[in-house]
Amino acid sequence: MTEYYKKFIESYPTYGNDPLIEKAFDVAEKAHAGQLRASGEPYIIHPYEVVRILAELGLDSISICAGMLHDVPEDTEYTLEQIEKEFNPEIARIVDGVTKLTRFGFQSKEEAQAESLRKMFLAMASDIRVIIIKLADRLHNMRTLDYKNEEKRREKSKETLEIYAPLAHRLGINTFKWEFEDLSLKYLEPQAYFDIAAKLNSTRAERENYIAGIIATLKEKLAPLGIKTEIEGRPKHIYSIYKKMKTKAKTFEELYDLVAVRIIVETVKDCYGVLGAVHTIWRPLPMRFKDYIAVPKQNMYQSLHTTLLGTDGKPFEVQIRTFEMHKTAEYGIAAHWKYKDGTTGQTDLDKKLAWLRELMEWQNDMKDSREFMEALKINFFSDNVFVFTPKGDVKDLVKGSTPLDFAYSIHSQIGHKCVGAKVNGRIVPLNYELKTGDIVEVMTNPNSKGPSRDWLSMVKTAAARSKIRAWFKKELKEENIHKGREALEQGAKRLGYELHTLLKPEWLKGIYKKYTLNNIDDMYAAVGYGGLAASQILSRLIELYRKENHISDAVVVKQPPKGNKSIGHDAVIVRGQPDMVVRLAKCCNPLPGDEIIGYVTRGRGVSVHRADCSNINDVDFEPARRIEVAWGSEETAKYMVEIQINGHDTPGLLAEISQLMFSLGYSIAAINARSMKNKDYCINLKFEVAAIRDLQALMEKIRRIPSVTEVFRVNN
């Protein structure tokens, strides 16, 4: 009996009669012998703490074995084949699902992360225990993150906040979610975290007295009902307070509803009985009541939420749920996943994990790792709306979904044959944004030719987009080949290349293997129907071309036209001068959304500058020649802009930025990239954009690239 196994059984005696668990501890301790963590502690402490977390959730012995062995194939000489032979295929399969992919062969961290998540979801689709172990693994790593350097702490915290916390929420394991969020904030915004923690600590006595008063009142008023209750109070978590301060633009002292009181009862009937009683004690705030019992969240969460006005005039929240609902609220899917006599209770879980099956349907169609990550965040880690069919069935859709998303959520053919929609009895356009409570009716025509390409920009859900692309892929292959070839030719020309010079057979083989293609027509077709972006193909081919021809990155790819850009009469309105020629000043490159001012030039009309432009504010500019201007209604105009990107000089950074730009539809007019001192890299990009909001959105996406440290707009 090993030291750690003995400690584990003392804490969790229900696992003491399983020889497989004892064997897993023995194998793990021998395999990790001599290995140390960053803290200097023996490595075996990590898998040991992971299985303690799993035991707290009450998972089965197979999960405990897999949790103990989850790092063995990756970090030791012990192989998956040995695990399968010495244990069983089930444990080996789960361990394989949890094992991280190595990053060999991936061009970026984002691509490695996306492929690792794809593998995890594939394994998760057949066995949910994979993701529960993965979450426990990440939770212990976050608890011990102090021993990593600052860059690694921030990287892991960002990934945890963006992927693992929402995933825990989606699975209903809120105990994980809350800790993930608080720990991530601790490393991403340490000053905010410790400031809130200190203020919570300093007001603890006052808060506990306040909660005790509410609980005493509730017990007194609810006693005559004869309902068995458990009542508890808790402060909001640090991250939720931080978010509230941000969204409401308030200080900690200005927030009042920092506590929640939870009433746990035996039956659903009791929930509503207690709710009625609570509303007679304190006045409920309008629009602050949510019934998650009648309409559960997609992660199985059920509860009544009501916000009440206390006797001191401060609001507080009361949550009312049954004991069974409370268990699900804390542990989510883990509370339902029990293995007895070889049965899994899979029928009930199938309904609760419908979102996972949907993910598996569309993820195969997304070959672009960036698109996969964006779709994952939008479709599965964001707020949802609940709408109804005419028969009263509830459909759970992503916030921002349209009638087309609704149609495709019913059936592919309903979506393909959709010609219109009614919402609450009124005909609406297909890009109408659905709201919770809407009753949606899809109008179809059996003679419809099928979806149009602009539907791809209308739908919000990845499932609908995948079904539309599948239709184009199947029905319009020749057209897709033509469109794809054309897109690649045009994209190559924009970058100063001829496509035929990039299509070397040995280079294409790598493309085919990477994206599971058979030949060049498959590649053209994938670009044509939207499965691949032209930029994905071109960035790799150009990288190989430049490498073979010894071309440095520090070149200007293409020069933009010189001189001020003359624009249409509708783009900028000149006060009192409707027919005057208008030009955008090249010194500051104003965009729609910028504050602007006009300057009457000699013989060249009005030059439009940003209001903060140093030239227009120069003392030599004559104030009398300034004129009031405003952005007009011309929506199709594009404007030249320059940005500078600073970052670490890592392989593939320029290709990654170029790929992002082209995937978002931007044509780069000029690139100037150069290596700087201290292994830094500087890239200047010139391109056209429609408005300041588009530029800001693009810059934010570029900032998310791990090697990028700074992005800003350049004034010439």
pLDDT of amino acid 382? 55
State how far the Cα of 477 lies from the Cα of 359, in Å rounded to an integer: 25
Pair 532, 605 in one domain: no
Highest-scoring range by mean pLDDT, 405-419, 526-540, 602-616, 654-668: 405-419
Q: Catalytic one among 18, 74, 396, 553?
A: 74
Are residue 166 and residue 217 in the same domain, yes or no? Answer: no
Closest by Cα among 471, 466, 398, 412 to 442: 412
**Residue 117 backbone phi and psi in degrees, to 5:** -70, -40
Of residues 529 and 17, which shows the higher confidence score? 17
Number of residues assigned to the chain = 716
Same domain, 28 and 144: yes
Q: Comparing 411 with 565, which gets the higher pLDDT?
A: 411
Q: Which two tokens stand for residue 589?
A: 């490159």
Residue 345 lies in a domain: no
Is residue 371 a part of any domain in this protein? no
At a CB cut-off of 8 Å and minimum separation 6, what does 387 contact? 394, 395, 397, 401, 406, 434, 435, 436, 437, 438, 439, 440
556 and 541, same structural domain? no
The answer to whether 697 touches 673, Cβ cutoff 8 Å, is no
Structural contact between residues 197 and 238, judged by C-beta atoms closer than 8 angstroms: yes
Which residues have a Cβ under 8 Å from the Cβ of 688 and sit 6 or more positions away?
Answer: 638, 639, 640, 641, 666, 667, 669
Catalytic annotation present for 74? yes
Q: What is the pLDDT of residues 651-701, one digit of tens each?
A: 667 777 877 887 777 877 777 777 776 667 888 888 888 888 888 889 988
Residue 305 lies in a domain: yes
Give the separation between CA 220 and CA 281, rounded to whole angstroms.
11
Average pLDDT value over all residues in the chain: 80
HEC secondary structure over 366-407: CCCHHHHHHHHHHHHCCCEEEEECCCCCEEEEECCCCHHHHH
> Reduced to 3 states, what is the DSSP secondary structure of residue 421?
strand
Query: What percentage of residues in the chain have a pLDDT greater than 70?
Result: 81
DSSP codes, 565-612:
EE--TTTEEETT-TT--EEE-TTT---BTB-EEEEE-SSS-EEEEETT
Is the Cβ–Cβ distance between 685 and 670 less than 8 Å?
Answer: yes
DSSP secondary structure code for residue 690 in this structure: S
In a domain, 375, yes or no: no
The helix (H) or strand (E) run that includes residue 82 is: helix 80-86
CATH of the domain at 245: 3.30.460.10
Q: Are 91 and 177 in a shared domain?
A: yes
Is 21's pLDDT higher than 90?
Answer: yes
Residues 177 and 287 in one domain: no
In tens, the pLDDT along 244-265 reads 888 778 888 777 777 789 999 9
The DSSP string of 195-254 is HHHHHHHHTHHHHHHHHHHHHHHHHHHHGGGT---EEEEEEPPHHHHHHHHHHHT--GGG
> Which pLDDT band holds residue 443 (cuts at 50, 70, 90)?
very high
Distance linking the first and last C-alpha atoms of the chain: 72
Per-residue model confidence (pLDDT) at position 303: 92
Identity of the highest mean pLDDT range in 265-269, 312-316, 457-461: 265-269
Q: In 17-60, where does DSSP find H-type helix?
A: 19-31, 45-57
Q: Are residues 557 and 694 in the same domain?
A: yes
Is the pLDDT at 402 greater than 90? The verdict is yes
Higher pLDDT, 58 or 101: 58
Say yes or no to pLDDT of 339 above 50: no
Strand partners, 384: 398
Res 150: pLDDT = 87
Please give the Cα distance from 344 to 352 (Å, whole number): 14
Q: Three-class SS of residue 320?
A: strand
* % of the chain exceeding 90 in pLDDT: 22
pLDDT of 79 above 60: yes
Q: Give 468's Cβ-side CA count (13 Å radius).
A: 24
- Distance, CA of 445 to CA of 432 (rounded, Å): 20
136 residue type, one letter: A
pLDDT, residue 304, reads 93
Q: How far apart, in whole angstroms, are the C-alpha atoms of residue 280 and residue 332? A: 32
Q: What's the confidence (pLDDT) of residue 250?
A: 81
Number of domains in the chain: 5
Tell me whether residue 347 is in a domain.
Answer: no
Mean pLDDT over 95-122 rounds to 58
Please report which helix (H) or strand (E) contains residue 190, including its range: helix 190-202
> Is residue 361 a part of any domain in this protein?
no
Provide the pLDDT for residue 26.
93
243 and 116 both lie in a single domain: no
Q: Are residues 715 and 661 in the same domain?
A: yes
pLDDT of 105 above 70: no
In a domain, 376, yes or no: no
CATH of residue 566's domain is 3.30.70.260
Whether residue 153 sits in one domain with residue 55: yes
* End-of-domain residue from the set 187, 213, 247: 187
The total of other beta-carbon atoms located within 10 Å of residue 517's CB is 19
Is 284 in the same domain as 221? Answer: yes
Residue 111 lies in a domain: yes
Which of 501, 520, 548 terminates a domain? The answer is 548
Distances (CA, A) of 575 to 216, 244, 553, 606: 67, 43, 46, 11
Q: What is the DSSP letter of 13?
A: G
Q: Are residues 563 and 629 in the same domain?
A: yes
Please give the residue range of the domain that contains residue 285: 196-333
- Residue 138 sits in a domain whose CATH number is 1.10.3210.10
Could you tell me the CA-to-CA distances from 362 to 404, 413, 439 in Å, in that order? 16, 16, 26
Q: What is the pLDDT of residue 143?
A: 93
CATH number of the structural domain spanning residue 429: 3.10.20.30
Over residues 356-400, the pLDDT tens digits come to: 556 655 555 555 555 556 555 555 555 667 788 887 777 778 788
pLDDT digit string, tens, across residues 295-312? 787 777 889 999 888 887
pLDDT tops 60 at residue 464: yes
Burial of 591 (0-12, 13-18, 19+ CB in 10 A): buried
Helix and strand numbers (H, E) in the chain are: 30, 21
Q: Residues near 709 by Cβ (< 8 Å), separated by ≥ 6?
A: 646, 647, 648, 680
Element (H, E) at 685: strand 680-689
Instruction: Please state the rounded mean pLDDT for residues 8-33.
Output: 91
Residue ending a domain, among 167, 187, 207, is 187
- Residue 349 clears pLDDT 50, i.e. is over it: yes
Query: So what's the pLDDT on residue 375?
Result: 58
C-beta of residue 408 within 8 angstroms of C-beta of residue 463: yes
Considering 60, 75, 257, 688, which one is annotated as catalytic? 75
Q: What per-residue confidence (pLDDT) applies to 341? A: 34
Tokens 């244990």 appear where? 87
The answer to whether 130 and 123 have CB atoms below 8 angstroms apart is yes
